[in-house]
Amino acid sequence: MSDDSSTRPTARVVPKPRRVRFDMPAGTSRQHFVDGDLVMSHFVSTLSATFPEGEDFFIRSVREYRDHISDADLKEAVKGFIAQEATHRHQHRLLNDRLQAMGYPTGDRSACQEAGWPT
């Protein structure tokens, strides 16, 4: 008997928007906010600085095609995906504002240039 799992229908996973809140490094001005670790703090701030733009791109990309989707389940999945990415984008922007206040160049490109970072 052979297992022909490739022909079985797969269950669709529909993203459910969650209210995500990041633990902000509030009340601290020290730049090594991830357990005092310079490398991880810079790594996290660099990732966070790039995420809102990427999340905007994902949202725009999915919105571009959502009106062409006829499958009701897929439409619901797209709606959930957009909502979840919007929540992520918002949280990263809040974190980036806090990191900017701590001296990380997480804002626009001019902040990176002022810090001497290549852009």
Q: Where are the domains of the chain?
A: 35-119
Position 13 scores a pLDDT of 65
Assigned token pair, 100:
């900017």
What pLDDT is recorded for position 63?
92
Average pLDDT over residues 8-19: 62
**Lookup: tokens for 22:** 């990041």
Report percent pLDDT > 90 for the chain. Answer: 9
Confidence at residue 29, expressed as pLDDT on a 0 to 100 scale: 63
Among 96, 89, 107, CA closest to 44 = 96
* 100 backbone dihedrals φ, ψ, rounded to 5°: -60, -45
Here the tokens at position 111 are: 């902040």
**Above 80 in pLDDT, residue 51?**
yes
Residue 91: per-residue pLDDT:
86
Return the pLDDT at 64: 92
**Cα–Cα distance for residue pair 93/26, rounded to 1 Å:** 14
Q: Cα separation of 88 and 22, whole Å?
A: 9
Is the model more confident about 102 or about 5?
A: 102
pLDDT over threshold 90, residue 116: no
Of 7-21, 51-65, 88-102, the range with the lowest mean pLDDT is 7-21
Q: Say if residues 78 and 31 touch (Cβ distance below 8 Å).
A: no
When pLDDT is averaged across residues 91-110 and rounded to a whole number, the result is 80
Distance CA 97, CA 2 (A): 56
Q: What is the mean pLDDT of the chain?
A: 77
Among 18, 41, 24, 40, smallest CA distance to 88 is for 18
